[in-house]
Amino acid sequence: MNAAERLFAGFVERLQARGCGHVFLRGYQAFPSVPEGSDVDMLVAPAQRKRAETLLRESASAEGFHIWQRFRSGFITRFFAYRFDEAEGHQFFDLDLHTCEASFGIPYLSAERLLQEAIADEGLRRLPPGLEALVNGLGHLFMGGSLPEKYRAAWNAQADDPKARAVLMQVLGERDARRLLDSLDPTVPALPRAEGLAIGKRARRRLLGRHPLRACLGFLCFGFGERCAPWFSPRGRFLIFAGTDGSGKTTLLREVLLRIAPRFREGAVEEHHLRPGIIPQLSALFHGGKPAYTLEDMADPHRSPPSGFIGSSLRTLYYWFDYFLGYPLKILPRRRRNALIVYDRWFYDHVVDPRRFRIAAGHPLPGFLQRFLALPDRLLVCSAPPELILERKQELTADEVERQVQQFQAFAARHPRATLIDTSHTIQQCVDRIIRSIFEDPRA
């Protein structure tokens, strides 16, 4: 078994040895393996949640895992654990810990009801097939309005299970339950999404009428966890790659994105260049909305002379506002939705290489203003011996490359969240170093 499998197996052993009542809902079928990019969903009674969390942390620590992210949303607490080993590489283990089954925070199946139905199967506690198909199918129906084909087929195979049918009638009411059961027939068209969402709304209204206080409190907790808390503790990651031309940052950025994209919400991996773009390029203000330079010009980043002190100050302030406004308006809203936002260059280039932006060398404003910008989760500063950089690109003079290498290395030493990456090593070694810096415990 690899480290992630040992963590999973050890967690199950601890749950059973400590008498922590639980039942696995999904993601466990290949136990102790977990498919890459997937997670395990488990349910415990509310009174057992803290004990289950403690046992998970013990299991993770025993296998050398670091829980790099934990957040709670209503009745679900999500854990993301990571470990690196030279022999086994990068290992991830994700777990969703439920204390009931809820739709938008409104409970429709209690932990107590489901736990008493749990059965033992090959060392795991799980739900009977009919009830498991019901629980997994209802979750997708309430949130997305439709049943994924794998759950539709599983539910159809267990459609005659009397316990599952009784639970379905209780949650949806007789009319909607029968309509949903009829749609499971493979010869009948699937339930339209709009109708599925309407069934979910009617079910929530029924639950609200039965238990108004519990439903309202659950909805408020869910809303706070999903809408408010992520503004203060973002779930996604904000990364910046920095370094002189030819340092290899763009190549490494693309390789890293390919490796870690499955750890984030599907379709929520974004790559950007230089700045947020809330305000237009300065030269575009005077040239009909289009930049005054061409792609060929970009091969010579120092083609234009720097402005004087006042002009440099205005340029710095103008672009600084783009970064200052761009984070709360463009980056943070995406981070709170578990997106991965990666920038190739950032305002730090104004500090190390002001000439690129026609700012006078030694101007004090860039270094002063960068203190007031939001910090990334990790700043990856790519560096290499100057002679190797010049072999890759000849856009800058040898003296300028050497100066920038020294400046970026000194900047990385001062920045609280910087990791210096020596790109004279192989791409695989560099990628491993970057991924470890993103997910490992920074205190280790």
Domain ranges of the chain: 3-230, 235-439
Q: Average pLDDT for residues 94-109, to the nearest whole number?
A: 94
The pLDDT of residue 267 is 62
Q: What is the dihedral of CA 169, 170, 171, 173, to 10 degrees?
A: 50
238 pLDDT higher than 70: yes
Using DSSP's 3-state secondary structure scheme, residue 123 falls into coil
What strands lie across the sheet with 124-126, from one edge to the other? 66-73, 76-85, 89-98, 40-44, 22-26, 124-126, 119-121
Joined together, the tokens standing for residue 281 give 């390029």
Q: What's the CA angle centered on 424, arms 422 and 430, to 5 degrees? A: 55
Q: Average pLDDT for residues 222-243, to the nearest whole number?
A: 90
93 pLDDT higher than 70: yes
The pLDDT of residue 419 is 96
Cβ density class 383-402: b for 16+ within 10 Å, e for less: bbebeebbeeeebbeeebbb
Q: What is the CA radius of gyration of the chain?
A: 27
- CATH number of this structure's domain 235-439: 3.40.50.300
301 pLDDT higher than 80: no
The per-residue pLDDT for range 197-214, each reduced to its tens digit, is 999 999 999 999 888 998
15 pLDDT higher than 80: yes
Confidence grade of residue 369 (pLDDT, cut at 50, 70, 90) = very high
The pLDDT of residue 287 is 57
Asked if 90 and 152 touch (Cβ cutoff 8 Å), the reply is no
The pLDDT of residue 1 is 86
